[in-house]
Amino acid sequence: MFEKLEEVEKRYEQLNALLSDPNIIAQQNEFQKYAREQSEIASVVGKYREYKKVDSQIKESRIILDEEEDAEMRALAEEELEGLLEDKEAIEAEIKVLLLPRDSRDEKDVIMEIRAGTGGEEASLFSADLFRMYSRYAENKKWKVDILSSNETGKGGFKEIILSIQGKGVFSKLKFESGTHRVQRVPETETQGRVHTSAVTVAILPEAEEVDLQINPSELKIDVFRSSGPGGQSVNTTDSAVRITHVPSGLVVTCQDEKSQHKNREKALKVLRARLLDDIQSKQQAEMAKDRKQQVGSGDRSERIRTYNYPQERITDHRIGLTLHKLSQVMEGNLEEIIEGLTLHYQAEALKKEGGDSVQGQPASTSA
C-alpha cells in the first residue's frame, strides 16, 4: 500500500509542475484534465503526508524513551507515544477508505425522478412530501434544484416529478436513494383513522454530459403539443410541450413545465441523456458483477429500501437496519444521519471485499 502511496504523491508533484507550465495553461482542455486528476488524489496525498508526519513523531518519541532516564519525562513520552499510535492507526484506516476504487460518477449532478406507486392519491401526496424533503436537503447543502417535468394532481400531489440537482458531490450523497419508499400513515380522507400503506419510487440518475453520451439526432422522434395542468385543463395556448422518443431504445421523455418549446426540449433531452447513460451503465455493471444486488445502493428500484411510519414517528432503512424516531426532522431535509450510515456501510463492505489490509491501487474511475 505504501509503495502505491509514494507513487500517488510523486504523481501529485508532477501535476503541480504541469499546472504551472505556461504551455499547459494555454491549453484549457489539458489544464482542466490535469486539474481534475490532481483534485481526485489531493485528499489521499494530504492524508499520506499527515501519516508520515505522525510516523516521524512516533520515531522521535521512541528515541526519547530509549535515551531519557528521568522518570517524569519518560512518562510524558509514553503518554505522547500512546496518543500518536492511536492517531497513526486512525489515519491508516482513513487512507484505506480513500484508496478504495471510486465511483467515477460521484461528483456528477443528478436527475431525480419521483413517481407515485401503489396507494392512489395518498401515494401522489407522499411524492410531494419526498420532493419537499429532498429540496430541503439540497437547500441545506447549497445545491441548486430545477424542476424539469411534473405531473401534478388536483390535491397538490405529484404522479411524477423530475428534478435536476446540481452542486458539489451530489451523486455521491444521493446515489443510495434509488428504490421504493414506503409510507404508513392515516390519509387526510380517512374517516376511520386507519393507517394506510402507500409506495413511491425514487430514481437517481447521474446527469450525462454530451461528452459522456452522443445521441444521433436522426434516432429521435420529437413531437410538440399543448401543455395541460392538473385534471387535464389547458394551461397554454401554444404548442410548447415537447415529447422526445429515442427510437432505438423506445425511451420516451415529456416536458411541459416551461412556456418555451425550446426550454422544454432542452430539459427533455437532459432527462433522456441521463436515462440512456444509466441504462448503458446498469447493463455494464450487471455483466461485471453478478452480486451487484448484494451491494448497498444497487439501484434496484423494485426493492423496498425505506419505510416512513408517521404514527410512530419512525423511519427505517431496511438495507442497513437503521431505525430513527425522528421522522419529522428527516422530512424537513435532515437526511445526513441516514446518508452517512449508508456511506459507511458501503465503505465497510468494500473494505471487506478488498481484503481489509490489502488495499491495492490508487483511486480508480470505476462504478460502485
Q: Which residues contact residue 320 at a Cβ distance below 8 angstroms, ignoring those fewer than 6 apart? A: 296, 341, 342, 345
From CA 356, how far away is CA 320, in angstroms rounded?
A: 20
| Per-residue pLDDT, 287 | 55
From CA 82, how far away is CA 61, in angstroms rounded?
A: 10
CA atoms within 13 A on the CB side of 274: 25
| Per-residue pLDDT, 312 | 95
pLDDT tens for the 368 residues of the chain, in order: 778 888 889 999 999 999 999 999 998 888 988 988 888 888 889 998 999 999 999 998 898 888 878 888 888 888 999 999 999 989 988 887 777 667 778 888 999 999 999 888 999 999 999 999 999 999 999 999 999 888 999 889 999 999 999 998 899 999 999 999 999 999 877 768 889 999 999 999 888 765 556 778 888 888 888 766 554 444 555 678 888 888 888 888 888 877 788 888 888 888 888 888 888 777 766 654 443 343 333 333 446 899 999 999 999 999 999 999 999 999 999 999 999 999 888 878 877 776 544 333 333 333 33
- What domains lie within the chain, and their CATH numbers? 2-98 (no CATH), 103-207+327-338 (3.30.70.1660), 211-290 (3.30.160.20)
| Per-residue pLDDT, 357 | 41
Cell numbers at 278, concatenated: 444509466
Cβ contacts of 53-57, under 8 Å, gap ≥ 24:
54/84, 54/87, 54/88, 54/91, 55/88, 57/84
User: Would you say 102 and 364 are in contact if contact means Cβ atoms under 8 Å apart?
Assistant: yes
User: Would you say 309 and 331 are in contact if contact means Cβ atoms under 8 Å apart?
Assistant: no
Q: What is the DSSP letter of 149?
A: E
From CA 304, how far away is CA 46, in angstroms rounded?
A: 39
| Per-residue pLDDT, 281 | 72
Pairing state between β 179-185 and 251-255: unpaired
The owner of cell 403539443 is 225
| Per-residue pLDDT, 362 | 37
Pick the closest to residue 103 from 50, 176, 180, 2 (CA basis). Answer: 176
Element (H, E) at 222: strand 220-225
